[in-house]
Structure 1
Amino acid sequence: MATDSSSTSPSKGQAWFCTTDLPSDVVVEVEDMTFHLHKSALMSKSKTLHDLITKQEANGQKREDKDTYMDNSQDNDDKPGEEEEEEDGQTCHVSLPHFPGGSETFETVVKFCYGAKIELTTGNAASLWCAGEVLQMTEDVAQDNLISKTEKFFNNSVFNNIKDSIKALKSCEKLCPFAEKMGIVQRCIDAILAKAGHYDPTLFGWPVNESAGDPRNSPAKSRDPWVEDLAKLSSDFFNRVISAMREKEIDQEIVDACLMHHAKRRFPGISRSSRGNTPTGSPLSIASEAEQRKLLETIVSNLSPENSSRSSAETRFLFGLLRTANILNASDECKFALERKISAQLENATLDDLLIPSYSYLSETLYDVDCVQRMLQCSTMKKVIEKIDKVGSSNVSNGNGKGWRSKFGCKFTTKVCSSHESTVVDDRKARPRRSPC
């Protein structure tokens, strides 16, 4: 089968022709593309097109018809139908608005109808499956038709691989409500959960380091690629996957890894090494402040309550979230939750982490001293200090007290806190006091 695409008038968009010896007898309009095709090829594969064309022919070929190929989910004004035929009385006109996947997908469907071999991929299989359902390309119409072909591809290939399931789910973002109603979205999520539950959390290479947002700066073994693919999902689909993981009680370390990669992708400034490297015109940079705030609060609410086994790399990540929460003016609940999480592993913090910029016009310093004091006074930190004293006192007689104290973070409390206090004092001296008026 030979094809040809050419431009027509600006109002008509593009024209697509099937260059055979026979003249076309049906014109199908999808988006701004006009397909000049043959009835026999389409009617032999699609019950929807068969019914539309047959009914138009039976109606005398001059009456505009409003028959639909979709269910009642679409408005009547948007339903596809047939338009008045040309003066020769032979060419049918069919319009398919809101076709899943648009003209590109319909072009692939046309090639399939003409017997050409089509290549199914994780990127186009979902749209072709939806198109097959919309056009009723079932086994009752033709053997090995499009629906069965795409469904077999999903069952034998996509659903058996977590990366492919994520990519297929990503492609469904532009196929709603079709993919949602057909259950493709939920089946992709179920496949992701089935595979994610068998992963060993140690394979994620903790810590998730500062270069997690840039594959060029991090060794491949430090991150699992499917976690990065999951981070590319829209916030809506990503949140659904995370909620499903929590319901199925997937290992919390896996959930945290997904949340951290998604956060670093959506908020590039969280990692200091990636600040200022956001691509110009990136869709991530144009999200509204309200959307970013909602996303941040969702990420924080799903993080594990305790991360004592993690290293200082995640501590820096939590501090980055806290700074972002201050910038976006997130809820107090979100900020306090982050402070509690940080206080549980405060011994891993550095002086640079503790220098949290203050965004309050009432503050007399550049840094948020109250925030640091709250974290120091947090009950979680007090329990750590009590453990230090308890273990230290029981080992002083054996000469091991110093080692135990160093192990449990006394180095932090003596060195880092002193440095922070000195920095804040210098800041107060350098800045004039603001008038309370």
Structure 2
Amino acid sequence: MSSAVRGGATRGQAWFCTTGLPSDVVFEVQDMSFHLHKFPLMSKSRKIHRMVMEQEAEQPTGQRRRRRRGRSSEGSNAGEEGAEQTEIEEAEEVVMEEEEGEEEEDEQARKEEGQAFCITFPDFPGGPGTFETAAKFCYGVRVELTAWNVAPLRCAAEYLEMTEEHAEDNLAARAEAYLEQAVLRHPGEATKALKSCEELLPHAEELGIVHRCVEAIAARSSAASRSWFDDLAVLGLQMYKRVMAAMAARADVRMEARESCLVSYARGTIPGLSRSMRRRLASAPVSSEVEQRDLLEAVVASLPADKCSGRVVTAKFLFALLRTAHILRASDAARMALERKAATQLEHATLEDVLIPSYSGATETLYDVDCVERVVRHFLAEEELGEAEASTSAAAITEEEAPAATTLSRPSAMAMVHVGKLVDSYLAEIASDANLKPAKFCELALALPDHSRIYNDGVYRAVDIYLKAHPRLTAEERDRVCGVVDCRKLTVEACTHAAQNERLPLRAVLQVLFFEQLQLRRAITGTLLSSSVAGAPQPRLHRYQQPRPATMAARHSADSAGGEAWRSTATQDSQVLRLDMDSMRNRVQDLERECSSMRRAIKKIDGRGSCSAAASPRHSDAGDDAAAAASADGSSRPANWRSRYGCKFSTQVCDSHARNVVASRASRMGMSP
């Protein structure tokens, strides 16, 4: 029997059971007709048994009509034997007419006897495929249960009343056992079963299959293995909302698990979420633009209210959502919520993340600068709020709690520095946009506070690119753009480049040269002082000797960060300072060599004068008197030479290695050597 059923064939929209016997019942399920046999199905399904019996109770009318015709024919034969001979001709005519009518009725009765029962199931759960599997089960065919078909078969068994009360080991009991033992114990299998329930409503809801699958997924979402998270992409929006609501209602579900489910669902259902996430699950439904917008807004609404952990909901993911929100034209509320969320992870973002193209016709720039500026301002607002809370709680901090408080303040200072570097890189990237206005460029550059930048080399690079891409700026606009650069925070390399940059205004070049000379003077002073107190404790700076602004900014960042972060920043600053000092030392050595050359030239001139005086022995006494007089009135030849060439200093001043030079310099500065 089972092997014959496996040979069932589909002809057009009809399914025939090839058992060798003619079918006696036809089931209409949607647009498919199943030609089957009533006895195998009646033995397993109480509903089919009841419907077939009802149709059999209505069908015997044709048989009663045939029996009635048989009795009337016997009465007519007896009447013919006792009739008179004179009525034979009339009777023959009547009999011929009756025989013609009986032939038609017999033919109709034969058609009625060969016609099968017809049963229609317009709302069968699971459709024709599920009914075919249920019919094979009734014929005794072994049915393989899976996570995809167990829910439809359970609903079909309930619909056909294939329960244990009607027959033992029936379909309802088997499907229920498989659902409890093999599906609900594994969240991935439960997700597949929940997906199949989307086409079984309200039958699956009435049987509690949807609720049990949702609870099974939520209860086991914190398991160690999370490979099944990608299966969430197959769920529709309504089922996904129910799963997330169930996870939020449970106290034993960790925040990281909720975030993982959220990210997996978003990546699988929203196409183009990230430039590097081109792959989508083959089983994920293809949604329209309106459905994608609804999915995106649902994902945004599911984001944790507090700051995300950053391990799962990363800055890349948040900025990808923000970029997709602009593409899909999501609601203003969703975009504002995403901007605030992205601001919490701004210090971990990269340049590629913040390059959000402008999809609005109102703006002419290539990238959405306004969006990035809003994110930066949200970040600054969060930092100010954190600093206010830290200052409020500082009064209650004891000496023992001070190191812990310093540790808590580290991420804020380091995050500000990272955001400063990110904004400088973003400015350099958008600076070449011909439609970027100077006011917008300056507004974004000045949005960050001064302590967010240790050096201003990144801002200077962005300004240089902007001036090169906008050669038709007015003098006022050029000065305004260059005003965003703090010349006091430029390194030696940046100062050297700026001093030779023809695109900079004259005022900016003069400022750069001034601060470069100031840094050079301070570096030389520090070098001389350090050489004078070699091996002694580090002296305090003179009251007129200001530390380098870059060093002050680094020191401020180091004090606020502390610990390992402070050591890393201090090491970098000391390396840069050491390079500057080496450069200054080389310049000082060049000056010393020039001074030595001048000293030798002066000695040669003095030697020639003395030789000429010794060459006149006759006038030695007079020469001595003249020399004495010349030395008295300052009219000798070497003295006149020095005054003529402006050499009014001692020849030993430029020798930084001489001890008396350091002593004399220290005495002039009011310090002990």
Q: What is the TM-score normalised by the length of structure 2?
A: 0.51
Does residue 292 (structure 1) correspond to residue 317 (structure 2)? The answer is no
CA distance in 1, matches of 2:250, 2:375: 32
Distance, in Å, in 1 between the alignment partners of 2:44 and 2:266 is 45
Q: SS at 1:160's partner residue?
A: coil
Check the 8 A contact 2:15/2:34 in 1, yes or no: yes
Could you report, residue by residue, the CA deviation over 1:177-236 in whole angstroms, capped at 9, with x for unpaired residues? 22122221111112212222xx25xx47xxxxxxxxxxxxxxxxxxx2221112221122
Cα distance between partner residues in 2 of 1:37 and 1:426? 75
Contact 1:340 1:380 in 2 (8 A): no
Pick closer, same or farther for the CA change 1:185–1:431 going to 2, 3 Å. Answer: farther
Distance in 2 (CA, whole Å) between partners of 1:322 and 1:225 is 26
Does structure 1 retain, via aligned residues, the 8 Å contact 2:358–2:367? yes
> Cα RMSD between the aligned structures?
3.3
1:320-359 aligned within 5 A: 320-359=320-359
Deviations 1:95-134 (A, max 9, x none): 2223222222222212211222222111211111111111
Residues 306 and 341 of structure 1 are in contact (CA less than 8 Å); yes or no, is this contact kept in structure 2?
Answer: no
Distance 1:329 1:86, change over 3 A: farther
Residue 373 of structure 1 is matched in structure 2 by 373
User: Which ranges of 4 or more aligned residues in structure 1 deviate by more than 6 Å?
Assistant: 385-391
Highest relative contact order (Cα 8 Å, sep 6+), 1 or 2? 1
Q: Report the structure, 1 or 2, having the larger helix content.
A: 2
Preserved CA contact (<8 Å) 2:229 2:260: yes
CA distance in 1, matches of 2:122, 2:210: 22
| Code of the aligned partner of 2:238 | D
On the 8 A contact 1:47/1:135 being kept in 2, the answer is yes
Aligned to 2:447: none
Report the residue type matching 2:269 in the other structure.
R
1:420 aligns with 2:426: yes
Q: Does structure 1 retain, via aligned residues, the 8 Å contact 2:187–2:217?
A: yes
Write out aligned runs for 1:256-275 (5 A). Answer: 256-275=259-278
- Which SS does the other structure have where 2:8 is aligned? strand
Would the aligned equivalents of 2:158 and 2:172 in 1 still touch at CA under 8 Å? Answer: yes
Answer yes or no: is the 8 Å Cα contact 1:364–1:431 preserved in 2.
no
* Residue identity opposite 1:354 in structure 2: V
Percent sequence identity over matched residues? 43
- The answer as to whether partners of 1:31 and 1:103 remain within 8 angstroms in 2 is yes
AA paired with 1:320? Answer: A
Structure 2 CA distance for partners of 1:405 and 1:328, relative to 1, 3 Å: closer
**Cα 1:385–1:265 shift into 2, 3 Å:** farther
Q: Determine the structure 2 residue equivalent to 1:24.
A: 23
What displacement does 1:341 show? 0.9
Q: Write the mapping of 1:160-179 to structure 2, written as runs, cut at 5 A.
A: 160-179=185-204
Q: Contact 2:148/2:196 (CA < 8 Å) preserved in 1?
A: yes
Does the aligned pair in 2 maintain the 1:122–1:164 contact within 8 Å? yes
What CA distance in whole angstroms lies between the structure 2 residues aligned with 1:288 and 1:121?
30
Conserved in 1, the CA contact under 8 Å of 2:260 and 2:312? no
Tell me whether 1:59 sits opposite 2:84 in the alignment.
Answer: no
Deviation at 1:385, TM superposition (A): 7.0
Question: Which string of whole-angstrom CA distances, capped at 9 and with x for unpartnered residues, describes residues 395-417 of structure 1?
Answer: xxxxx99x957972244133211
| Aligned equivalent of 2:249 | 247
**Residue-by-residue CA offset, 1:221-272 (whole Å, 9 max, x unaligned):** xxx2221112221122111111221222432221111111111112231121
Higher Cα Rg, which structure? 2
One-letter amino acid of the counterpart of residue 144, structure 1:
D
The question of whether the paired residues in 2 share the 8 Å contact of 1:41 and 1:113 is answered with: yes
Match of 1:124? 149
In 1, Cα distance between equivalents of 2:387 and 2:354: 19
Distance 1:365 1:136, change over 3 A: same
Question: Per the alignment, do residues 308 and 23 of structure 1 end up closer, same or farther by CA in structure 2, a change over 3 Å counting?
Answer: closer
1:49 alignment partner in structure 2: 48
Q: Deviations over 1:274-331 (max 9, x none)?
A: 34x569x99744x232222121111111111344531597101100000111111111
Distance 1:309 1:103, change over 3 A: closer
Work out whether residues 322 and 335 of structure 2, in 8 Å CA contact, stay in contact via their aligned partners in 1: yes
Count of matched residue pairs: 375
My pick for the range that moved more, 331-340 or 407-416, is 407-416
Is the CA contact (8 Å cut-off) linking 1:46 and 1:141 kept in structure 2?
Answer: yes
Relative to structure 1, is the Cα distance of residues 355 and 384 closer, same or farther in structure 2, using a 3 angstrom cutoff? farther
| Contact in 2 for aligned 1:61/1:92 (Cα 8 Å) | no
Q: Distance in 1 between matches of 2:219 and 2:313?
A: 29
Distance 1:389 1:150, change over 3 A: same
Q: Could you say if the C-alpha distance between residues 270 and 382 of structure 1 is closer, same or farther in structure 2, counting changes exceeding 3 Å? A: farther
Amino acid at match of 2:32: M
Gaps of at least 5 residues in structure 1 are 64-84, 205-223, 395-399
Correspondences of 1:33-432 after superposition (within 5 Å): 33-60=32-59, 87-88=112-113, 91-196=116-221, 199=222, 203=224, 224-249=226-251, 250-275=253-278, 284-285=285-286, 287-307=287-307, 309-311=309-311, 314-378=314-378, 379-383=381-385, 404=410, 408-427=414-433, 428=436
For 1:15, give the aligned amino acid. W
Q: 1: distance between equivalents of 2:181 and 2:190?
A: 12
Change (3 A) 1:7 1:153: closer
Q: Is the CA contact (8 Å cut-off) linking 2:355 and 2:367 kept in structure 1?
A: yes
For the 8 Å contact 2:234–2:284, the answer to whether it is kept is no
- Cα distance in 1, alignment partners of residues 122 and 114 from structure 2: 24
**1:5 aligns to what?**
8
Structure 2, unpaired ranges of 5+:
63-109, 400-405, 437-465, 473-673
Rounded Cα–Cα distance in structure 2 between residues aligned with 1:426 and 1:386 = 38
1:354-391 CA distance string (max 9 Å, x none): 22212222224222222222222222243467799999
User: Match of 2:210, SS?
Assistant: helix
CA distance in 2, matches of 1:332, 1:61: 71
Give the distance between the partners of 2:268 and 2:309, measured in 1 at CA. Answer: 24
Please give the alpha-carbon distance, in whole angstroms, between the structure 2 residues aligned to 1:103 and 1:432.
Answer: 72
Assess if the C-alpha contact under 8 Å between 1:106 and 1:131 holds in 2: yes
Distance in 2 between residues matched to 1:327 and 1:334, nearest whole Å: 13
CA displacement, residues 60-103 of structure 1 (integer Å, 9 cap, x when unaligned): 2679xxxxxxxxxxxxxxxxxxxxx9622562111222322222
